[in-house]
């Protein structure tokens, strides 16, 4: 290969890499924009869950190598399809976070020992909630896509908590992604980027981790069946008939 040919190939590879990086940046901004709009569409509290499920669906498609995903159409379709369970999960999550914050604030006026006990319980509950929340969008999407009756809200949270407790390393990585990215932007002096890519980057990174740690084909037996599997497993059929 001549030097001119190798130089041309290197330049073409560099340009294609820059083009792919710019395309990804635009997609992340677009994802962040539609997550914000769909969250506002549901009145923030009731729109947070469905918008997050839609964003997770788009980011999961990227993680599987599908780069040409229609962000707006996919997120709007998921928003409508998963609105009821996702809205309930988002509302309950917001209520739990508010109650924990209020309990912590009120405990400051108590005596030292009761305050320490109360704050310890609040920290434990906050840790369990932090372990559960990164898995909720995945659990809601797969439960709703499965050919099964809608799962109860308690079952969604219990499944998310079980996944988080069973995979501590993955849970720690997800917590670091969701908390570390906004804190990194604030520490670097670029808080203005939070409404631009503050949500898009964590969704893309966490979906990449979840798709590799929890692929659909390797779902545990108690997880809902994928939507493309029309027939249940023989052991499940025998359990239903027994």
Core vs surface per residue 14-29: b (16+ CB within 10 A) or e = eeeeeeeeeeeeebbe
pLDDT tens, N- to C-terminus, the chain (242 residues): 555 544 455 556 677 778 778 888 999 999 999 999 999 999 999 999 999 999 999 999 999 988 888 999 999 999 999 999 999 999 999 999 999 999 999 999 999 999 999 999 999 999 999 999 999 999 999 887 765 667 789 999 999 999 999 999 999 999 999 999 999 999 999 999 999 999 999 999 999 999 999 987 443 434 443 444 444 444 344 434 43
The model scores a pTM over 0.85: no
Q: Where are the domains of the chain?
A: 22-216
């Amino acid at each position: 290969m001549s030097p001119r040919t190798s130089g041309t190939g290197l330049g073409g590879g560099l340009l294609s890499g820059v083009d792919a990086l710019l395309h990804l940046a635009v997609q992340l901004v677009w994802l962040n924009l539609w997550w914000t709009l769909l969250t506002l569409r549901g009145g923030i509290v009731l729109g947070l869950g469905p918008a997050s499920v839609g964003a997770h669906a788009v980011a999961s498609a990227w993680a599987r190598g599908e780069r040409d995903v229609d962000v707006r159409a996919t997120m709007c379709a998921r928003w409508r399809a998963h609105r009821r369970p996702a809205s309930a999960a988002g509302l309950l999550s917001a209520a739990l976070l508010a109650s924990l914050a209020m309990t912590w604030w009120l405990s400051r006026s108590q005596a030292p020992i009761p305050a320490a006990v109360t704050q310890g319980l609040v920290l434990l509950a906050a840790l369990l909630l932090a372990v559960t929340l990164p898995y909720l969008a995945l659990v809601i999407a797969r439960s709703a896509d499965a050919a099964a009756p809608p799962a109860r809200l308690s079952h969604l949270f219990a499944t998310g908590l079980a996944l988080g407790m069973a995979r501590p390393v993955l849970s720690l990585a997800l917590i670091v992604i969701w908390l570390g990215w906004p804190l990194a932007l604030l520490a670097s002096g670029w808080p203005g980027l939070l409404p631009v890519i503050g949500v898009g980057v964590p969704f893309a990174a966490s979906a990449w981790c979840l798709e590799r740690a929890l692929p659909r084909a390797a779902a545990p037996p108690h997880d809902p069946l994928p939507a493309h599997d029309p027939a249940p497993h023989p052991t499940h059929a025998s359990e239903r008939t027994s």
